[in-house]
Amino acid sequence: MGTVVEASSKEASGSSLSQKKPKVVFVLGGPGSGKGTQCANIVEHFGYTHLSAGDLLRAEIKSGSENGTMIQNMIKEGKIVPSEVTIKLLEKAILENENDKFLIDGFPRNEENRAAFESVFGDLQTGITPEFVLYFDCPQEEMEKRLLSRNQGREDDNIDTIRKRFKVFLESSLPVIEYYNSKEKVRKIDAAKPVEEVFKTVKALFTPVVDKAAA
């Protein structure tokens, strides 16, 4: 009986998403690459809604729901939260928001995330895939310098932890970037430049062709 309910629920959400046809841009970059700052700029200038996979998981935990408790227990035990759980939260956030343009920040973190996203969003009637992947490329030394200067005193941002996070990013997220690059969907940004210069490059990617011609 549960299977029928699950199937019909998936069908209903699938149908809602295909009707909405959201425009999705994935945002990836190492810790300290400045993607949070740039996402805020894109939201302000181009009216996107910023969805952070990490923030959605934290909000679910804070809500005290059964799902939130399960997520919290998994994190406590050092287990990775299943991709399906994160995707369900993303799907819910997209459907509940009136906007139809979304920046999905820090996702997909790995190949498993990517495959799960495609199996849920890609098997809809219209097939929802990212418009492109915004990749903030920044040298490790620059990211370390930024994180250490802005997070003095925070235990989770000491040099060893930062290097571990960077290593995880290289091992997990680079294969995702390579996958989308093979489909010519990656827009690589030199994130080592000053914030204003970086946004100038980002802005060009989001400005419609018509606006560019008019300018």
81 assigned ligand-binding residue: yes
pLDDT of residue 6: 39
Query: Is 33 annotated as a binding-site member?
Result: yes
* Secondary structure of residue 136 in the 3-state scheme: strand
Domains, the chain, in order of start with CATH, read: 22-199 (3.40.50.300)
Confirm or deny that 73 is annotated as ligand binding.
no
**pLDDT tens-place string over residues 73-82:** 888 887 778 8
Q: What is the mean pLDDT of each run of 10 residues along the chain (215 residues)?
A: 38 59 91 90 95 90 90 82 89 91 92 89 68 93 84 61 82 92 95 93 81 46
Is position 34 annotated in a ligand binding site?
Answer: yes
**What's the pLDDT at 181?**
95
* DSSP category for residue 158: S
Measured distance CA(43)–CA(86) in Å, rounded: 22
pLDDT of residue 80: 75
Is 167 labeled as ligand-binding?
no
Output the pLDDT for position 123.
Answer: 58
Q: CA-to-CA distance for 27 and 165, rounded, in angstroms?
A: 17
153 is in an annotated binding site: no
Is residue 126 part of an annotated ligand binding site?
no
